[in-house]
Amino acid sequence: MINKRVTTLLGSSLLSLSISLAAQAQNSDSFIIDDIRIDGLQRISPGVMFGLLPISVGDQMQPGMAGQIIRSVTESQYFEEIEVAREGDVLLITVLERPSVSEINISGNDVLETEDILNNMREAEIYEGGIFTRSTLEAISQGIQEVYSSRGRYGTTVDIEVTEQPRNRVAIDMTVNEGEESRIQGVNIVGNQTYQSDELKDLMELGTKPWWLPLSRRDRYSREQLEGDLENLTSYYLDNGYARFNIDSTPVAITPDNEDIYITINVSEGQQYQISNVDLVGDLVNAESLLRAYTLVGPGQSFSQALITASEEYMTQILGNLGYAFATVEGVPEINDEDQTVEVIFYVDPGARTYVNRINYAGNLSTADDVLRREMRQLESAPASSQQIELSKVRLERLGYFSTVEVDTVEVPGTTDQIDVNFDVQEQSFGSVSFSVGSGGGGNWFIATDLQAENFLGTGKTVSVGLNRSYYSSSANFSYVDPYYTPDGVSRGFSVYAQKQDGFLNVSSFSTTSYGAAVNFAYPISEIEQIGFNFGFGHTELSAYGSSAQEIRRSPTLFDGVDRYIISEANTNPWNGPLSDAVTAPLSDLPEEYKYQTGAPGFIDKYGREFDNFTFSTNWIRNTLNRGQLATRGTFQQAQFEFSVPGSDLEYYRLTYNADYYKPLFGDDWVFHLRGNLGYGDGYGDTDELPFFQNFFAGGLTFNGVVRGFEENSLGPQSTPPVVLETGFTELATDENGNVLVGESGHANSFVRDSGAYLTVPVPDANGDPLLDENGNPVLQLATTTYQFDRDRDNFGGNFVTAGSMELLFPLPFVTDRSRVRSSVFFDVGNVFSTDCTTQQSLERNCSDFSIDELRYSVGVGVTYLSPFGPLTFYLAKPFTRGEEDDTKSFDFTIGAGF
């Protein structure tokens, strides 16, 4: 930043006495130096001083050598004065050391950081503890003023005060008066004829400030920025055929008050040139046709320096892929001014073919070298390939274990054809660990622990362990995946699980007891694709309650132990007739059609309660993402087909497809992201529907149906509340002799039995009047009521899901490590549908087949942070379409899921 200007100051610092003594020593007779004595040293050690002398004890002192001694010692800049004298055969050297800098204080600077000023002073050898040189300090002052001037602050002054301190030390106090920034009031381009000035000014960062952008800094002058703008203008002309374009001068005028700046750019456009011929010369290593295929310029095209530069880069990369790591390609335009043509000659120098000596790794503190080495596509002792080295870097990034991966190639010392490839990685969280224990009161205790390690103990293997226990659920699971079961990248994994879950006070309540195991394999079919297979077995037992939804079990159903129905209620009021007990009859006497056993059968009614299923699934994955976590470019696609093997207790299949697309807009900070999820399932053979416990869900951050702004799993078809038979009847109270007990009012004492008999209601005829039997008595049927614990119905899921999201990823301010933090604004859409809606669901309008009108939409902002305990995701969302039964959730956060 500040030019280093150091000059040797002797002048007044060298006393006339030393000069005369030097002259006298030059004219005296020579002698053999018996000893050298140095006086005046304070900080400089004698060893350093003797190292500066061009002579030593035992040498012969010749005429003229005193001047050499003075010059040699003076060049070190350690000393202010030097005297050389002789006492017999002893050479006497007396010195006066320059002062040292004890402290440096800088004030008044805002534009330039104090650290930057101190660093540049250190480059000029002015620093605390160093030697003080006033001439260097003055050069620093001038350099600081020049830096401020280059940033449009022409009125900057620098005041320096040097204070002498004891023990030959000085303190430096520097006060900077930065002044005001000068503003650009005009930019004038002179000499342009082909392009309008306004068009050229649009290529520049500097210029006058637009009136509609009051906070713009476009009018803040910077010499570096002006140079960049001039390069933009030059490139624009050269890329459009003007091979002789030149910027003649760029005078910058400043008003006397240093407030306004006017910039003039004088240009010479010249004529537009065409390319007449393209030739390749040099050692083309038998790859001329391949190199020409990547040459972007050809005869008849307008001259373009940008295309020439791009061709150089492509050909250099091709040669690098062929093993010539130090290849150079230079495109030289030979201009013919007579016919305005340019012949482009590419000079190719492949250098020696390069081989990889060693591949080294740094930064992997937890991850074993073997985990990185097996991702290498560039091998040791093989020809170095730029393509294979870059592919190796990409594969490390896709692992998801590292936040950054840097690669560098270094020439092996003493060789011309070998390089070392050095990978430097920075590890990040590649799993999650959680443990919790507590109580909700009333015995609602729980204990839970989960471990998800995608790089278990640095081995590259994935291990997941979970143990959970609460008053309503118990589960245990374990899974293991070895991504390199074979050296060629075939992965193998297995999992086992056991779970028991009970549901209470839930409209679609049921309980399950299940256990199972699975083994899976995945085979790479290319660098970016793999196909996998999974074989599994699962045992499931279903239990339903009286409150279970009609889709799970037909309702109403008879209760165990209740085998009578009421013919007439008890009479406790003597004014209504004789006091009498309720009259009941055996349930077997009631015709079947009046027992309400004709409701549509539920899943349990059709398929039973206990199932053994063997499943097989295959999946295809194509991954070009640049990172395993929080990617910023590339695509990811996954398609899976899962089905239960014919002969299983339940026969069904499921198809899913998930895709992500990332497109950087401005570097890797501003990124456009599209995501889509599709899923469909159904039964086959003896199973007419997808089992309800295999349904898809949507809402919140559900894997197959992300629609933020709604409760987790809350969208789509809902369950139908069950119809429940009513029981209980009034019974008269009697004494020990069987006599009815009567109160003072004359009413019989009674009590209500909660069970023991079903309540009844008359069966209506076609007109709505009670239907009578042959004896004229009303025909009875069992009474029912709809059971619903609260107004909200539970989501039941469906066999078809569609969801998508459109996001703009943007950087958060003040966040330096953006590989661990992602923020976005998003638009989500999706819902769950069913192609097997029951009649009751359709009547109650809580289930529908796919319809665009039924899609749900939301907008919001979200943040994901890769914490040491796994991804933490927060979002704020606002739904702008919703159904009457939809449950919304404006804010949510999760652990272990990202977007």
**pLDDT tens figures, 817-863:** 777 888 999 999 999 999 888 776 666 667 888 889 899 999 999 99
Task: Tell me what pLDDT residue 511 has.
Answer: 80
Total residue count of the chain as it appears in this document: 899
| pLDDT of 469 above 80 | no
pLDDT category, 3, cuts 50, 70, 90? very low
| pLDDT tens, position by position, 546-601 | 667 888 888 888 888 888 899 888 888 888 878 888 888 898 888 888 887 566 78
Task: Tell me what pLDDT residue 506 has.
Answer: 35
| pLDDT tens, position by position, 273-299 | 999 999 999 999 999 999 999 999 999
| pLDDT of 750 above 90 | no
Task: Compute the Cα dihedral for 539, 543, 547, 553 and give only its sign.
Answer: positive
Question: In this structure, which amino acid lies at residue 495?
Answer: S
Q: Centre a 10 Å sphere on the Cβ of residue 383 and count the other Cβ atoms it contains.
A: 17
Whole-number Cα distances in Å, 643 to 467, 492, 767, 870: 28, 20, 52, 32
| CATH of span 11-97 | 3.10.20.310
What is the spatial distance between Cα 823 and Cα 825, in angstroms, rounded to a whole number?
7
Q: Centre a 10 Å sphere on the Cβ of residue 565 and count the other Cβ atoms it contains.
A: 25
pLDDT category, 684, cuts 50, 70, 90? very high
Which of 168 and 609 is assigned the larger pLDDT? 609
The mean pLDDT value for 746-756 works out to 76
Of 208, 207, 106, residue with least CA distance to 159? 106
Task: Tell me what pLDDT residue 356 has.
Answer: 94
CA dihedral 34, 38, 44, 47 (to 10 degrees): 10
- Fold type of domain 100-177: Ubiquitin-like (UB roll) (3.10.20)
Domain ranges for the chain, please list them: 11-97, 100-177, 183-268, 274-349, 355-427, 564-594+727-782, 653-713+793-895
Task: Tell me what pLDDT residue 471 has.
Answer: 61
Q: What are phi and psi of 385, to 5 degrees?
A: -125, 120
Task: Tell me what pLDDT residue 441 has.
Answer: 39
Whole-number Cα distances in Å, 25 to 21, 73, 85, 607: 6, 17, 7, 120
Cβ–Cβ < 8 Å for 236, 200: yes
| pLDDT of 23 above 60 | no
| pLDDT of 466 above 90 | no
| pLDDT of 816 above 80 | no
Whole-number Cα distances in Å, 556 to 543, 549, 658: 16, 10, 41
Which of 813 and 649 is assigned the larger pLDDT? 649
Which DSSP string corresponds to 449-495?
A: EEEEETTGGGSS-EEEEEEEEESSEEEEEEEEEETTSSTTS-EEEEE
Q: Where are the alpha helices (DSSP H) in 563-609?
A: 603-607
Residue 827: alpha-carbon gap to chain centroid: 19
Report the relative pairing of strands 100-107 and 169-177 from DSSP bridges.
Answer: parallel
**Residues 653-713+793-895, CATH architecture:** Beta Barrel (2.40)
| CATH of span 355-427 | 3.10.20.310
The mean pLDDT value for 735-745 works out to 81
Whole-number Cα distances in Å, 93 to 17, 22, 72, 99, 261: 13, 11, 13, 19, 57
With a CB cutoff of 8 Å and minimum separation 6, the contacts of 497 are: 475, 476, 477, 478, 514, 515, 516, 517
| pLDDT tens, position by position, 195-219 | 999 999 999 999 998 877 777 778 8
- Fold type of domain 274-349: Ubiquitin-like (UB roll) (3.10.20)
Q: What are phi and psi of 784, to 5 degrees?
A: -130, 165
- Check whether the bond before 721 is cis (ω within 30° of 0): no
The mean pLDDT value for 290-315 works out to 94
Q: Centre a 10 Å sphere on the Cβ of residue 323 and count the other Cβ atoms it contains.
A: 21
The mean pLDDT value for 799-812 works out to 94
Residues of the chain with pLDDT > 70, as a percent, come to 90
Task: Tell me what pLDDT residue 2 has.
Answer: 42
When mean pLDDT is compared over 391-395, 626-630, 848-852, the highest value belongs to 391-395
Task: Tell me what pLDDT residue 447 has.
Answer: 59
Task: Tell me what pLDDT residue 899 has.
Answer: 42
pLDDT category, 793, cuts 50, 70, 90? low
| pLDDT of 363 above 80 | yes
The mean pLDDT value for 137-151 works out to 83
Domain 183-268 listed as CATH 3.30.479.10: no
| pLDDT of 444 above 80 | no
Tell me, yes or no, if the two domains 11-97 and 653-713+793-895 fold the same way.
Answer: no
pLDDT category, 448, cuts 50, 70, 90? low
